[in-house]
Structure 1
Amino acid sequence: MVGLRIKTVRRQRGLSQAQLAHPELSDSYVSLIESGKRTPTPAVLELLAQKLDCSLSYLVNGVTAEQMEDIELALGYARLALENGEVSEARTRFAELLTDNNLTGLTKLRQDTEYGLALATEAAGDLDEAISILARLRAEEITAERTVELAIALCRVYRDSERLSEAVEVGEQIIGGPTRLTWTDSLVELGATLLSAYLYRGDMLRARQFAAELLNAADVLGTPRSIVAACWNAALVAQSAGHEEEALTFAERALAVQSENGQPRNLARMRNAFGALLVRVRPGQAQAARDIMQRAMDELAQTSASTVDLARCRVELARAEIILGSPSEALGQIQAGQEMLPGNVRVLGAEADLLVSRAHGALGQVTEAQRQARAVYDRLAPLPDSRRAAGTWYAAAETMEMLGDSDGAVEAYQRAMACAGL
């Protein structure tokens, strides 16, 4: 394409190959370049651009410097909209930029734009479409850095969509490959995302081993990003193993490092997760946990947080409200969360149904509470067996038993045991 553009501009200028070549180059060399049989060096390209009175950017990329500037500016505005939490605006801007024909030959900028569109699509809650975009990008020729970047996003979206086997496969393709990679911040973050998929799926032995490996890698790197990723997921593993105070210790370290060095979105997500862990481990500190999560909610609203992040924050706030004896407040939080929750995020949706049930039970509305508890069946039944699903079935059984629905409780306990492989 470079040779074709040189030939086109040369003819537009009314020059022969010999005239363009003289005196620095031979006309045969120019002919070879124009026919695509030789690749000009950067110095030769710069010389030809000067002699043709056109921009080097046009010869290399097929766009003028002004067009390149316009594209980069549009991409910057789209990214800014996403960072500021204007998800719909960002998604529109990324999509419109992809219709620009000048972007076709600019591989890196086009891939940057598609990646941005995938993140905006994920943030809007359209997880299936985000997966489609990310998978398409991974099939292209991409840099090693972008390979890891895409794997992190795809592993995360698969996990949030309850497609745990696919999440694990994406992470293991890179981290568990035949060549042992040197740990970097990006690889530790990918490892942390993979670890959460192990936990959701119930691979506890692998999760514990991998958590220790990530902690060692973070200690060697000593970077804030790696420490946060490793410590937070070590907290999740410790909680799953019943070591709740140890989990809080890891989580507090992760939050402290994130508070000093993290981006607003990641800090808000970490703050909400810490508050959710605190309310579970120390119910007596539910008020403090609620205040932490409310702050996180306010911060998330100002960032590119996904609808899943926002819904999860609402659900955890509702849990704190129920413990604090405010079931009506809890119902308001859950309703707001359910309205933004994608339909394919089934386990979180089931957790929200159970909290609605408990809130109605606290208000003395037993019939409605029982109905809401039974709604869990529609959420969880289509899912493959996993540790996370087992835990939610068990919570549903406890809720039904508390509400006097013995038959429903028995069935839910049986489902929990089946998911756990018992």
Structure 2
Amino acid sequence: MDEPAEIGRRVQRLRTERGLTQRQLADPSYTPAYISTLESGKVRPSETALRFLAGRLGVSIEELTTGRPAHLATELRLGLTDAQRELATGAADEAAVRYRRLLTDAEHLDLAPERAEALLGLGDCALESGELDDARRHFEAAEQLLADRPLPRRARAIRGRAVAHLLAGELRYACYLLESTIDELSSSGLADPEALVLLHAAAIGPYIDMGAHARAAHAAELALALAPRVDDPALVAGMHRQVARTFLAEGRTADADASLAKAQTIYRQLRLRTDLAHCHWMRGYIQAQNGDLTLAERELRTARDMLDAKRATLYTAQVEVELADVLRRLGRYEEAAGLLSALLELGDRHGAVHAGGAHRLLGLIAEERDEPEAAEEHYVQALSLLERSGASGDLADLCRLLGDLLRRGGRTEAAMDVYRTGLGHRAAPGTTTLGPAPAAPALRRS
């Protein structure tokens, strides 16, 4: 609500436009003197008085107290819904154009919740297009706008920031953001099931990349327990998609595939094409793990084509790393190396973890082509990238590959040093690198 002086000037303007005297506006419930005092800004009208005056002047209470016609706010909210649908079914850059226009409208109308929603949408668009700095900035701005709201209302912005850091290879900071928010929710009595499922599901990815599989399994267990209390089907589907990763880490491929099937069913119903593409991506990975490389290639190409059609460049590049590994295992080295080289030409834009994975695969290709010097160069570059990100599980495996290469070349001492480094990375995750795991929340039964 505006200050009394602003409301008073608005009442006077609207009264004059309608050709009413102060007495005519006041009758039969108030006096002309009260209207005069109100118009001069010397009194703040009560809700009862505002309702009476709005009715006499033919406007909504919102327009009387803020100057915003009610229909404009409604149209803005409908526009945000349309933009969200466009992001789900179309291209991220086109959805971003709509979100930017809606953000300008929300700023003009001074509608903080709608500004925050537009910023969250822009953050999601930036994640898809690989503009991770922009994504962080949008999510941070949304969180600041919602600073006076309850923590569950800010969970989506915090989760967005964490995903941006995760995709940039900053795994530990992503875990810190998610874990600290979960702990705050649990300790403050604001253990909202939807917020907790969103945050626990988001934590599974960085946990697995860091090799903290026990933590990932614990987060999945908590998310599954909370899922029956969540009404948002897209959120439940996202949870199932992330839980599938913990099943894969435990070698439970049938359970992982079943979890993905649940997610795919929901995504098809909701026409969420980016999320559906992620399911094809993970199913391709499962088939590759099972040794069915032909089916794996088909699933990964489906995912890549769906993401490319939406111009989701970040995720497209990440799928191509998985696809290149399948092509390598099929003996199609030139095709695989071409995909990986194109990815690396983009620099670190798509994150250290995936750039490190690309160098690792190029090293394997070089080894299989009997090019040990090129293989060592790629492995060393991969080590540098993965050490920066904290992807401990991948680092341990990479140290094994490099150590074996050095040992076969007769460089035993250097190989031993690399093996020791790998053992250090294998021991660290989930113990010394992270603090205590977030506790299970004490949820009140409704």
User: Which of 261, 277, 282 does residue 290 from structure 2 map onto?
Assistant: 282
Shift of 1:321: 0.7
CA offsets 1:235-290 (integer angstroms, 9 cap, x no match): 433444xx31x1x12211112112211232212112202211331x322x111111
Q: Would you say 1:154 and 2:161 are equivalent positions?
A: yes
1:163 maps to 2:163:
no
Equivalent position amino acid for 2:324 in 1 = A
Name the structure 2 match of 1:9: 10
- CA deviation vs aligned residue, 1:351-407 (integer Å, no higher than 9, x gap): 011112333444555544443333224423434x45245345336526845985958
Q: 1:211 to 1:48 in 2, by over 3 A?
A: same
Shift of 1:113: 1.2
Partner of 1:172: 179
In the TM superposition, what are the counterparts of 1:236-275 in structure 2 within 5 Å?
Answer: 236-240=245-249, 243-244=250-251, 246=252, 248-262=253-267, 263-275=272-284
For 1:313, give the aligned amino acid.
Answer: V
Residue 337 of structure 1 deviates from its aligned partner by 3.8
Distance change (3 Å), C-alpha of 1:181 and 1:371: same
Q: Which amino acid aligns with 2:174?
A: A
Match of 2:300 in 1: 293
Match of 1:184 in 2: 193
1:358 and 2:364 are equivalent in the alignment = yes
Q: Are the counterparts in 1 of residues 9 and 39 from structure 2 also a CA contact under 8 Å?
A: no
Alignment counterpart, residue 200 of structure 1, candidates 187, 200, 209: 209
Corresponding residue of 1:373: 379
Distance 1:226 1:66 in 2: 30
Question: Identity across aligned pairs (percent)?
Answer: 22
Unaligned segments of structure 2, at least 5 residues: 429-446
Q: In structure 2, which of residues 392, 396, 399 is the aligned counterpart of residue 394 of structure 1?
A: 399
How far does residue 133 in structure 1 lie from its aligned partner after superposition? Answer: 2.6
Greater relative contact order, per chain length (Cα 8 Å cut-off, separation 6+): 2
Q: Tell me how far 1:349 sits from its aligned partner.
A: 0.9
Q: How many pairs were matched up?
A: 413
Equivalent positions of 1:114-125 (< 5 A) are 114-125=119-130
Deviation at 1:313, TM superposition (A): 0.7
Between 254-263 and 74-83, report the one with greater CA deviation: 74-83
- RMSD across aligned C-alpha pairs, in angstroms? 3.7
The worse-fitting range, judged by mean Cα deviation, of 27-36 and 79-88 is 27-36
- Cα distance in structure 1, aligned partners of 2:64 and 2:126: 34
CA pair 255-47 structure 1, distance change in 2 beyond 3 A: same
User: Residue type matched to 1:195 in 2?
Assistant: I
SS in 2 for 1:297: helix
Instruction: Give the conservation status (yes or no) of the 8 Å contact 1:311–1:336.
Output: no
Deviations 1:303-336 (A, max 9, x none): 474x332221111011111111111221233244
Partners of 1:405 and 1:376 in 2: how far apart?
22
Conserved? CA contact 2:362–2:375, under 8 Å: yes
Matches within 5 A, 1:16-415: 18-26=23-31, 30=35, 31=37, 35=41, 38=44, 40-41=46-47, 44-54=49-59, 56-64=61-69, 67-68=72-73, 71-72=76-77, 75=80, 78-100=83-105, 103-139=108-144, 140-142=147-149, 145-176=152-183, 177-179=186-188, 184-218=193-227, 228-240=237-249, 243-244=250-251, 246=252, 248-262=253-267, 263-279=272-288, 281-283=289-291, 285-303=292-310, 305=312, 307-338=313-344, 342-343=348-349, 345-363=351-369, 367-383=373-389, 385-391=390-396, 393-394=398-399, 396-397=401-402, 400-401=405-406, 404=409, 406=411, 412-415=418-421
Distance 1:58 1:341 in 2: 51
> Comparing 270-279 with 285-294, which one deviates more in the overlay?
270-279
Q: Contact 2:106–2:114 (CA<8 Å) still a contact in 1?
A: no
Point out where structure 1 has 5 or more consecutive residues left out of the alignment: none
* TM-score w.r.t. length of structure 1: 0.81
Query: Aligned equivalents of 2:106 and 2:154: distance in 1?
Result: 25
> For 2:42 and 2:170, how far apart are their aligned partners in 1?
46
Hey, what's the Cα distance between the residues in 1 that align with 2:231 and 2:114?
A: 32
Distance apart, 1:90 and its partner CA: 3.1
State the AA in 1 paired with 2:113.
Answer: K
2:125 aligned partner, one-letter code: A
The change in CA–CA distance for 1:116 and 1:224 in structure 2 (over 3 A counts) is closer
Contact 1:61 1:106 in 2 (8 A): no
Q: Distance in 2 between matches of 1:81 and 1:105?
A: 24
